[in-house]
Structure 1
Amino acid sequence: MKKVIAILAIALLLLVAACGKEDKEENANKEVKPEEVTMDKDEVVDNNKVVVRINDKDITGDLYNAVYLQGKLRAVQFGQDISDKEKMKELALNEIIAQELIKQDANKQGIKVSEEDIQKEYDELKSEDEKKFKEYLKQYKLTEKIVKEQILFTHILNQYVDKEIQIDEVTEEDAKEAYDKLKKEMDDIPKYEDAESTIKANLKQQREADALQVKVEELKKTATIEKHI
């Protein structure tokens, strides 16, 4: 199910930037395991309730619940606090807003993804292990509709980043500087030659995430956003 989890993780690049900038609360979720993460009754929104209107698009509770729960899961994985429900709600809403703004702007830029491609990828995910797939959807409040929307967003985001997001190239000097910092923090670290490609990929992803976050803030300035929860 690793491929499923990777594709259904709603944060994508956006949360890379956010998590990179927040201090970890090392002990907040020390005893919490990802598989134990659930939503309390007061955290769940009715699936048909409009939670936020972004320009002319209404976003309903079914997507919000999935985003909220995935956000709690990521927070646990990053060692962050999940006790502040208001903060978790705002994180989920901000993530939904960012995704929708990117989708709307991507549409203006002519970025399209075919329904056939979405269906094909969904069928591939499902066929890997249908039983585990269904269990995963149930556990994280995901429907076929939501999964397909996230697959769609993944494809749109990849194209959008390639077309609209410009970053400085990651140099050898950048990679070595990052490696030296890691070396000070880690006792058991691979040789630079073995870690180089991973470090460069992570640096590129971080820069894309930072640039994408700036782009989202620009889009917010001209957007009409109405929160209903």
Structure 2
Amino acid sequence: MNRVTQNLILTLLGCAVLRISAFSTTYLNYVKPGFRPFLIGAGTVLVVLGVIGVFQAYRLEKGAAERETHGHAHGGPRVAWLMCLPVFAIFLIAPPALGSFAASRDDTPPPRDQTLNSFTPLTGAGPVDMPIGEFIGRAWDDDKKSLTGREVRLTGFVVPAKRKGQWYVTRMQIACCAADAFPLKVSVRGLEMPPADTWVEVTGTWIPQTFGKMPNGVIYPRLTGKSLTRVTPPDEPYE
């Protein structure tokens, strides 16, 4: 691989980063929204460096006519072709956000960083649109039991459960990027399960726990489903 080719790949890599960050919301499948300016900046730098490198390499190779004639020009290391892999992945494959496969493999309960009694009262009539993380926090840590008797509406994707008669409406939560994602799951009862990875809005009421102290193991809060609507996946898939 000669220097011109190396810098062309560098330019393509920068274009791929700009494509998913500056001209679409695809980057949200991999990182939090706050990283967008950094991705745009990094992509721009890669493009500028690649374009400058192409012109410089072209001038050098054009001036080295004798080396080209005798075939003594040396290319870069072959491993440089590996830089093409992320370019092909972004332009041709565009990996989606994490879904039911990742969620079903992780049975580690999410960190519980809510402060007790820090929840605002639920006001208004009708179902309350609520992030799944907030629902879980209110279910386990709200001493005032603000979910009791209130209809809520949760949005997430479908994850099958091992136990019959229930499934999970799930949202992945990330601290930085998809590499540190963990699932936020709510067990849904009373509604037929759509296909796995289907994005849905589930309306229902919380099923209060009957135990006094949190038992050992992984236990998810439960919801009695009343209605279900299939929705398109959101631009920002993570909480």
- Specify the TM-score bucket, using the shorter chain as the normaliser: under 0.3
Instruction: Using structure 1 for the length normalisation, give the TM-score.
Output: 0.21
Q: Pick the structure with greater CA Rg.
A: 2
Structure scoring higher RCO (CA < 8 A, sep ≥ 6) equals: 1
Q: Which is strand-richer, 1 or 2? A: 2
Instruction: Using structure 2 for the length normalisation, give the TM-score.
Output: 0.21
